[in-house]
Structures are given as structure tokens and as C-alpha cells.
């Protein structure tokens, strides 16, 4: 129940001490007809990343899945990933850390020449022909260092204690405010906290590898990259920031 975290939100809150995956549970709730529900867990035993990858989810981290039924076309689903990433980045920045977004779904801490992943977003949805039937934005934020190369956690970075409850509360409020906004405002907020824009990038897309300079993000969340001879819009892929290039 919401009482387990004492959260105050315009959603139904379902809390689990441990669960396989909050996104898996949100899908189950959606298939049972639920909406506007947030599944929160203290630990996951089978946390999911994109493309069948896994998400390390030790106890004490933030594992949240927000289920809703936005009245928008399925093609706009990527906007919710961007909104989830902006909300997460804002919540992390409020603790004083310099968080930025790596397109499309990573939240990084940027210090000197190193980037460490502190959070990731996984959006899953069911589309109908002209509208989204249900959509889950899954957000994982590390509290402790998960012990993965290139990853870090809030408690590992901050000297003072971070209240999990207060953090999740801010995250939900921030997401709630963003998801009501029009696509252009979401993109504008995204640009403000992007790590990727202006960088030389190497993006592995389903159609091959693209190397160039990331110059913008455009609806519904595509990365615009200038290569040597053309400008391309990438709708999905794994992005790597290239240093010293
Ligand atoms: C993501 O995938 O970054 C999306 C992660 C979403 C997790 C949340 S937790 C709540 C909800 N319920 C779920 O079951 N999932 C969502 P991707 O971009 O594919 O990154 C996954 C890759 O990041 C892995 O292959 C590892 O290399 C790395 N990784 C795994 N666990 C990590 C962690 N805790 N912190 C940082 N990096 C991690």
C-alpha cells in the first residue's frame, strides 16, 4: 500500500518489498484493466533493461513503474521515455549532483571526463491503431553502487543521507507535471538537461551504425545526427558518446 512509503500522489500506489520486475507487474495490472497506478519495489529479482538486457536491482534502490493510458497515438510513446528521463534527472539534480541525460534513456553523472550511469528508463506499451492502450514508464535509480562498471548510485556519490521516500515523491511529482505538457515543452525540458547534444556520438541503430555529431532531439524523441554527408533522425538505438574525437 501507499502507506509503506507514505507517498502522496495522484496515483494508486502498489508497494512490494521485493518483486521480479515492477514493469512486468504493471503490465499484468494493465491487462486486468488498471490505470494510473505506480508499482514501487525495494528490490527486484529480474529487473529489465531494454532489448532483453537486465537491470541490477539490489535492495534499497528506486524501482518504479508508472502505468497510465494517455490519449495519444502510439508513435508518441518515446516522449514518455524522455519525460521519465527528465523527471529522474531533475530529482537527482535536486540532491546537488550534476545529472544529465544520454539519449535515449540513460541518466548519467558527469564529472570531468567520466560519465557514470545512475538511472535508466524502460518504457513498455500496448498500442491500438490510433491510440495507446496502456503505457508503463519504468524508472530505476541506483542508491548504492550496483557494482557494475560505469555505474554509480546516489548514496555512493553523496555524503549525506538520501531519503528514499522523499526522492520517490519528487520523482513522481516531477513526472506528473511533465507528462501533462505538450510534446514541444517536453523536448525543450529534455534539451536543458541533455548530455548528448553537441557530442560526437556513435549510435548502433537497428539499421546499422551511425557516427556523427548529435545536434538536436525532435518529435517524438528522435536524435538528430549530422554525419559527414547527411543529417539523419534516429528513432531507436544505443548511443555512445565519443571522447577526444
Ligand atoms: C535501461 O536499460 O537502462 C532501463 C532500466 C530500467 C529499469 C527499471 S527498474 C523499474 C522498472 N522495472 C523493470 O524491470 N525495469 C524498470 P538499458 O539501456 O538496456 O541498460 C541496461 C544495461 O545497463 C545493462 O546491460 C548493464 O550493462 C547496465 N546496468 C544494469 N544494471 C544497472 C544498474 N543498476 N545501474 C547502471 N547500469 C546498469
Same domain, 125 and 170: yes
Confidence of residue 7 (pLDDT cuts 50, 70, 90): low
Give the residue from 175, 192, 209 where a domain finishes.
192
Same domain, 215 and 94: no
Mean pLDDT of 35-39: 95
Cα–ligand 1 centroid distance for 57 (angstroms):
8
Query: Quick one: CA dihedral 57, 174, 183, 74, positive or negative?
Result: positive
Give the residue from 172, 192, 212 where a domain finishes.
192
Same domain, 215 and 145: no
Range of the domain at 39: 2-192
At 8 the pLDDT is 66
Strand arrangement of the beta sheet that strand 200-205 belongs to: 231-234, 222-226, 208-218, 200-205, 238-242
Cβ neighbours of residue 136 closer than 8 Å, sequence gap 6 or more: 23, 26, 27, 30, 65, 66, 67, 123, 124, 125
- Asked if residue 3 has pLDDT above 60, the reply is no
Residue 224, domain CATH: 2.30.30
Q: How many domains does the chain have?
A: 2
- For residue range 212-222, what is the model confidence (pLDDT) as tens digits? 999 999 999 99
Cα–ligand 1 centroid distance for 55 (angstroms):
4
Confidence of residue 74 (pLDDT cuts 50, 70, 90): very high
- Asked if residue 139 has pLDDT above 70, the reply is yes
Q: What is the ipTM of this complex?
A: 0.99
- Asked if residue 145 has pLDDT above 70, the reply is yes
Residue to mutate, 140, 154, 196, ligand 1, most ligand atoms under 8 Å from C-beta: 140
Residues with Cβ within 6 A of ligand 1?
21-23, 44, 47-51, 53, 55-56, 63-65, 105-106, 117, 120-122, 138-140, 142, 146, 148, 151
pTM: 0.95
Beta strands in 59-199 (DSSP E): 62-68, 99-102, 106-111, 114-127, 132-141
Same domain, 215 and 131: no
- For residue range 82-105, what is the model confidence (pLDDT) as tens digits? 999 999 999 999 999 999 999 999
Share of the chain above pLDDT 90, in %: 87
Same domain, 80 and 133: yes
Same domain, 109 and 216: no
Same domain, 43 and 69: yes
As to burial, measured by CB atoms within 10 angstroms (0-12 exposed, 13-18 middle, 19+ buried), residue 50 is middle
Cα–ligand 1 centroid distance for 222 (angstroms):
21
Cα–ligand 1 centroid distance for 171 (angstroms):
17
Same domain, 152 and 219: no
- Asked if residue 245 has pLDDT above 90, the reply is no
Residue 158, domain CATH: 3.30.930.10
Same domain, 174 and 222: no
Same domain, 214 and 182: no
At 131 the pLDDT is 95
- For residue range 168-222, what is the model confidence (pLDDT) as tens digits? 999 999 999 998 899 999 999 999 999 999 999 999 999 999 999 999 999 999 9
Share of the chain above pLDDT 70, in %: 96
Same domain, 144 and 218: no
Same domain, 65 and 153: yes
Amino acid at each position: 500500500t501507499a502507506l509503506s512509503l507514505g507517498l502522496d500522489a495522484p496515483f494508486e500506489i502498489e508497494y512490494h518489498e521485493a518483486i521480479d520486475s515492477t514493469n512486468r507487474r504493471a503490465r499484468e495490472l494493465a491487462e486486468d484493466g488498471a490505470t494510473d497506478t505506480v508499482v514501487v519495489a525495494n528490490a527486484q529479482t529480474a529487473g529489465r533493461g531494454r532489448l532483453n538486457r537486465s537491470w541490477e536491482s539490489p535492495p534499497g534502490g528506486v524501482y518504479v513503474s508508472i502505468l497510465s493510458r494517455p490519449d495519444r497515438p502510439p508513435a508518441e510513446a518515446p516522449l514518455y521515455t524522455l519525460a521519465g528521463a527528465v523527471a529522474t534527472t531533475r530529482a537527482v539534480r535536486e540532491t546537488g549532483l550534476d545529472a544529465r541525460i544520454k539519449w535515449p534513456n540513460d541518466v548519467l553523472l558527469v564529472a570531468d571526463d567520466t560519465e557514470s550511469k545512475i538511472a535508466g528508463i524502460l518504457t513498455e506499451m500496448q498500442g491500438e491503431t490510433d491510440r495507446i492502450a496502456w503505457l508503463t514508464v519504468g524508472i530505476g535509480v541506483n542508491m548504492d553502487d550496483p557494482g557494475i562498471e560505469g555505474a554509480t548510485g546516489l548514496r555512493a556519490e553523496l555524503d549525506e543521507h538520501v531519503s528514499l521516500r522523499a526522492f520517490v515523491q519528487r520523482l513522481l511529482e516531477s513526472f506528473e507535471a511533465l507528462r501533462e505538457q505538450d510534446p514541444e515543452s517536453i523536448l525543450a525540458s529534455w534539451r536543458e538537461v541533455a548530455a548528448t547534444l553537441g557530442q560526437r556520438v556513435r549510435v548502433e541503430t537497428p539499421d546499422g551504425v551511425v557516427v556523427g555529431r548529435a545536434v538536436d532531439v525532435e518529435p517524438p524523441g528522435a536524435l538528430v545526427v549530422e554525419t559527414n554527408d547527411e543529417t539523419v533522425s534516429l528513432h531507436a538505438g544505443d548511443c555512445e558518446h565519443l571522447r577526444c574525437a
